[in-house]
């Protein structure tokens, strides 16, 4: 049995290496999950850029860069929803099962011979699996774009009111104006920018911004500047009833499955053993960052923690205003990548629908560098429609927490846990209740239960009575009392957002 298993692994790895040598992303249109499919050619070059393989540390860094993002800002709120003790325990569980699911995806790639997420799902479940994945892969970045609008509106409006205090009397208008200006003058030009590779490489700057924000959050905790934040009966509760929504936020923070095969194929001497090491290192570091954000943020504001942690800090806190600007920069660098993925999914599905067959891109043609006038026009129209739709929907919620919960429960958890588990169950030759498949079955059951129960809990109270544009009670100060801006006592929390009520 061991000899047969070893032979199968050798054959699958050989087939992978042949495929890898032939094409950097399997030359499949359904590899749009990998950002690599959007940037095969260097700008101005007539030949595809030669792929540069990365060492194990480099691959780990690339994967960390893919995992750590804007989702960590909601971890203190997740700890509030789940309870501080139980929340930290669940954060470890979510990191562990995410680690397992990432390894499982690459195993599915070897079993199917298709080294892209859509390719794996199509090999396992045919067109049905492909289209289900396409829907979820569109939903995830689109909801992320909405959350980015919420964050940018919340964070930059506070900075502007600090600079122009008289604007504090109309925070709703300021917030809407910020999102409108940023969408028109920053987001749309970046999303229409054809040099995708430069934007993707700028994600390192996004990671650097997140690390600097973490340092600011930890410094504010250690400095004791917010020691005046009052305790409430909910402050140090070990467990809370809102565990399921908290899992959704945590899953969103660890979501990186759409870049799994991109990182794997970029590795030197890519094997399952080396991939497991990269995954353990990357997820472990991402958990450390998320845990530090969660602990530092929660210990500072406890039961008053909001979906966007930066909303908790006083408006005259210049260090945190700088952190707000950094976070907005990080968001704006990530926004176009999410838009590119959404756009390519829409364009791919339209081509499939009208041609009634699988569309394959030319391996020597970068789909982001369109050559035809019709393709150029279609790409521009699709981009504008997606960006405008995200802009129109974003004002319907003023708080980040519900958006993170919704995206985590309806998109991130199915993408991260349910579909990889189902793919492995279908592709693996072992029996359903074998030792090899039982963990995958558990992964599917976990994801299904959390998604269904979470949606049932979240949907009726999605909008709720959440508000922003108010100053927390512990921030009361003559300098902060800005022309009628609401001052609130930090006492009672709403069901969907930790923003205080009057």
On whether the CB atoms of residues 367 and 36 are closer than 8 A, the answer is no
Which structure tokens are listed for 344?
């390519």
Q: Is the pLDDT of residue 257 over 50?
A: yes
Which position has the higher pLDDT, 169 or 368?
169
The mean per-residue pLDDT over the stretch 131-160 comes to 91
Q: What is the pLDDT of residue 30?
A: 42
Q: What is the pLDDT of residue 474?
A: 85
Q: Is the pLDDT of residue 28 over 50?
A: no
The mean per-residue pLDDT over the stretch 67-88 comes to 92
In whole angstroms, what is the distance from residue 144 CA to residue 415 CA? Answer: 14
Eight-state DSSP code of residue 230: P
The mean per-residue pLDDT over the stretch 267-290 comes to 93
Which structure tokens are listed for 189?
């030009």
pLDDT band for 1, please (50, 70, 90 cuts): very low
Q: DSSP string of 319-378?
A: HHHHHHHHHHHHHHHHHHHHHHHHHHHHHHHHHHHHHTS-----TT--TTS--SHHHHHH
- Which tens digits make up the pLDDT trace of 326-346? 999 988 888 888 898 888 888
The mean per-residue pLDDT over the stretch 12-27 comes to 40
Burial class (CB in 10 A: 0-12, 13-18, 19+), 6: exposed
Selection from 24-28, 342-346, 375-379 with the highest mean pLDDT: 342-346
Q: What is the pLDDT of residue 472?
A: 78
Q: Other CB atoms closer than 10 Å to residue 274's CB: what's the count? A: 16
pLDDT band for 29, please (50, 70, 90 cuts): very low
In whole angstroms, what is the distance from residue 324 CA to residue 217 CA? Answer: 11
pLDDT band for 265, please (50, 70, 90 cuts): confident
The mean per-residue pLDDT over the stretch 379-403 comes to 88
Nearest CA to 305 among 380, 386, 400, 225? Answer: 400
Q: What is the pLDDT of residue 47?
A: 47
Which structure tokens are listed for 391?
């802009």
Which structure tokens are listed for 366?
């970068």
The mean per-residue pLDDT over the stretch 336-359 comes to 78
pLDDT band for 193, please (50, 70, 90 cuts): confident
pLDDT band for 368, please (50, 70, 90 cuts): very low
Contacting residues for 72 by C-beta, under 8 A, at least 6 apart: 210, 214, 253, 289, 290, 293
To the nearest 10 degrees (0 to 180), the angle between helices 84-112 and 272-301 is 160
- Which tens digits make up the pLDDT trace of 465-485? 455 666 778 886 534 444 444
Q: Is the pLDDT of residue 4 over 60?
A: no
Selection from 72-86, 152-166, 253-267, 445-459 with the highest mean pLDDT: 72-86
- Which tens digits make up the pLDDT trace of 294-320? 999 999 999 999 888 998 999 899 999
Q: What is the pLDDT of residue 181?
A: 95
Q: What's the mean per-residue pLDDT of the chain?
A: 80
The mean per-residue pLDDT over the stretch 50-79 comes to 83
Which residues face 471 on adjacent strands? 487
On whether the CB atoms of residues 445 and 182 are closer than 8 A, the answer is no
Q: What is the pLDDT of residue 443?
A: 96
Selection from 65-74, 96-105, 115-124, 372-381 with the highest mean pLDDT: 96-105
Buried residues in 12-49 as b, exposed as e (16+ CB within 10 A): beeebeebbeeebbbebbbbbbbbbbbbbbeeeeeeee
Nearest CA to 166 among 487, 488, 485, 486? Answer: 485
Nearest CA to 121 among 38, 32, 20? Answer: 32
Q: What is the pLDDT of residue 14?
A: 39
CA 10 to chain centre: 34
Least confident span in 77-81, 195-199, 466-470, 483-487: 483-487
Q: What is the pLDDT of residue 375?
A: 66
Q: What is the pLDDT of residue 356?
A: 58
Tokens 């530090």 belong to residue: 292
Q: What is the pLDDT of residue 413?
A: 95
Least confident span in 79-88, 94-103, 272-281, 341-350: 341-350
- Which tens digits make up the pLDDT trace of 198-221? 666 666 788 889 999 999 999 999
Q: Is the pLDDT of residue 103 over 90?
A: yes
Q: What is the pLDDT of residue 40?
A: 47
- pTM beyond 0.85: the answer is no
Q: What is the pLDDT of residue 16?
A: 42
pLDDT band for 133, please (50, 70, 90 cuts): very high
CA 8 to chain centre: 35
Q: What is the pLDDT of residue 249?
A: 93
Q: What is the pLDDT of residue 216?
A: 96
Nearest CA to 253 among 68, 453, 492? Answer: 68
Nearest CA to 468 among 263, 315, 240? Answer: 315
Q: Is the pLDDT of residue 39 over 50?
A: no
Q: Is the pLDDT of residue 98 over 90?
A: yes
Could you give the 3-state DSSP secondary structure of residue 491? coil
């Amino acid at each position: 049995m061991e000899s047969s298993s070893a032979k199968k692994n050798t054959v699958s790895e050989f087939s992978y290496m042949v495929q890898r040598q032939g094409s950097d992303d399997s030359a499949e249109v359904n590899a749009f999950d990998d950002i690599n499919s959007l940037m095969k050619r260097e700008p101005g070059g007539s030949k595809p850029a030669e792929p540069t393989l990365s060492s194990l540390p480099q691959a780990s860094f690339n994967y960390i860069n893919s995992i750590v993002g804007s989702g960590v800002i909601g971890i203190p709120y997740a700890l509030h929803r789940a309870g501080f003790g139980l929340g930290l325990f669940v954060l470890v569980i979510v990191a562990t099962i995410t680690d397992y699911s990432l390894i499982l995806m690459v195993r599915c790639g070897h079993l199917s011979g298709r080294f892209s997420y859509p390719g794996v799902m199509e090999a396992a479940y045919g067109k049905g699996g492909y289209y289900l994945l396409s829907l979820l892969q569109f939903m995830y970045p689109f909801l992320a774009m909405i959350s980015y609008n919420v964050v940018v509106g919340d964070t930059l409006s506070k900075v502007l009111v600090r600079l122009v205090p008289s604007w504090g009397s109309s925070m709703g208008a300021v917030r809407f104006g910020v999102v409108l200006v940023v969408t028109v003058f920053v987001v749309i030009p970046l999303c229409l920018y054809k040099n995708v590779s430069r934007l993707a490489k700028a994600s390192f700057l996004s990671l650097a911004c997140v690390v600097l924000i973490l340092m600011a959050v930890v410094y504010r905790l250690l400095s004791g500047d917010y020691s005046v934040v009052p305790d409430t009966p909910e402050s140090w509760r070990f467990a809370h009833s809102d565990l399921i929504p908290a899992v959704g936020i945590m899953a969103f923070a660890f979501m990186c499955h759409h870049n799994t095969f991109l990182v794997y194929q970029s590795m030197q001497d890519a094997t399952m053993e080396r991939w497991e090491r990269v995954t353990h290192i990357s997820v472990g570091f991402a958990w450390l960052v998320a845990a530090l954000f969660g602990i530092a943020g929660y210990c500072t504001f406890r039961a008053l923690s909001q979906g966007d942690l930066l909303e908790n800090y006083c408006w005259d806190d210049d260090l945190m205003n700088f952190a707000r600007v950094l976070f907005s920069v990080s968001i704006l660098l990530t926004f176009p990548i999410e838009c590119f993925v959404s756009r390519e999914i829409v364009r791919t599905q339209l081509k499939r629908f009208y041609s009634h067959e699988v569309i394959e891109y030319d391996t020597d043609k970068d789909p982001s560098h369109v050559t035809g006038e019709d393709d150029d026009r279609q790409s521009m129209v699709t981009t504008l429609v997606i960006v405008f739709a995200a802009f129109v929907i974003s004002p319907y919620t003023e708080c980040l927490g519900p958006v993170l919960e919704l995206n985590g429960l309806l998109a991130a958890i199915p993408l991260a846990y349910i579909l990889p588990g189902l793919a492995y169950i279908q592709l693996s030759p072992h029996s359903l209740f074998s030792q090899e498949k039982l963990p995958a079955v558990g992964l599917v059951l976990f994801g299904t239960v959390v998604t269904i129960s979470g949606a049932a809990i979240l949907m009726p109270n999605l909008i709720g009575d959440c508000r922003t544009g108010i100053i927390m009670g512990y921030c009361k100060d003559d300098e902060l009392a800005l022309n009628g801006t609401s001052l609130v006592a930090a006492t009672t929390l709403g069901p969907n957002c930790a923003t205080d009520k009057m």
